[in-house]
Structure 1
Amino acid sequence: MAKAGVLYVGTDNGLYIFSDPGGTGRWRLLPDVALANEQIIGLVAADSQSLVVATKQAFQRSDDGGRQWQEADAEDRMLFNFLNSQRVPVATVQGMGVWRHSEPPLSDCSLLAVLSGKQEVLLAVTAEGKRMLRSDDGGKTWQDVSVTFQGRLSAFAPSSYHIDVVWAGTDTGQILRSDDRGRSWQHVGNVPHAVRCLAAVRVA
């Protein structure tokens, strides 16, 4: 049987959790919302139980899947250095960072994702969140990705458990997933607020 999965979704109003308990691809939104009324602007999940979030007011850590929270320490806070950078944010399997060069690979790029593997893949959001592009050659050439969504693309998260899987979210609360390194996408579910960050992990 495939391993169960958890998707953490940071929004403008709390942290939502999707679960795929049987590893069947049927992701379900759990009823409880963590950190209600908090705007989650950054999220890192080490595993299905341990996660750290950045809000407008504080950095908080949970070691029980988001049920209880405590103030994050200095080491945890360093995970969110990208929030203070002027460079384009980049989603990787380790969490969020910034683009390695001072200039983005596309002039109007607002968000990037790097998918590791034998052949690194770049995904980019342009046109103020309305367009997704994909590059197989480090950003030298780009192809438009055919993907249907409402609003604007606002978050990426390469999966930590499979190099072919990547997630995306929109400012209308849509959750999308690609199983082929960003070539095609499917709608997985919705949350009631704008998505700002994502993290996908397997249950140990």
Structure 2
Amino acid sequence: MDPPAIPPDALVLLDYVGIAVFAVSGALLAAEKRQTLVTFIFFAVVTGVGGGTLRDLLIGAPVFWVGTNSTLLICIGAGIAVWMFSRKMFAERALLWFDAVGLAAYATYGAAKALSYAVAPVPAFAMGVMTACVGGIIRDVLAGEPSILMRPELYVTAAALASGLYVIASLAGAPPALAALVAGLAGFALRGAAIARGISLPAYDR
């Protein structure tokens, strides 16, 4: 059996962006809770690798951070960096914006990696959404916060937009870098609009 195609460098960059910004978001939540440095690092690591770990286990890929030092070092560095700098240096809603960047990047890369492992398009779409959302869910549960999924503004929908656009563009034969750019920007734009303007889907009221 031939080994799966590795996503191109432009997509691998999205993976690192997703890891870094999700790690920062985890550390920022630890800062809000006024935790110790160890907790900062723990939250950064769990948030940074959580979604990608589940994705790799489900698609039969080697877990991405086990065979390299760089991933955990990025997460540890993010935790230490947030610890060292005063929270006053970050905007009041920095956690939400870092999370939005990670959401778009990880949803796009998750779908791309799943497709590279010959996962069918619909499950690949689901892998993108899962990659983007699981780390944040774990972060919120560990911190005793209401899950980001339960808040009214768009979150999973933004991940679904990025992942779905990438899968559709790939099936249409678009170059991977272009598909990733369009998908990532669209997902970030939707999540950003939700943060800035409180856009949400209608809730069940019966």
Q: Give the structure, 1 or 2, with the largest relative contact order (CA under 8 Å, sep 6 or more).
A: 2
Give TM-score, length-normalised by structure 2: 0.26
**Which one has the bigger strand percentage?**
1
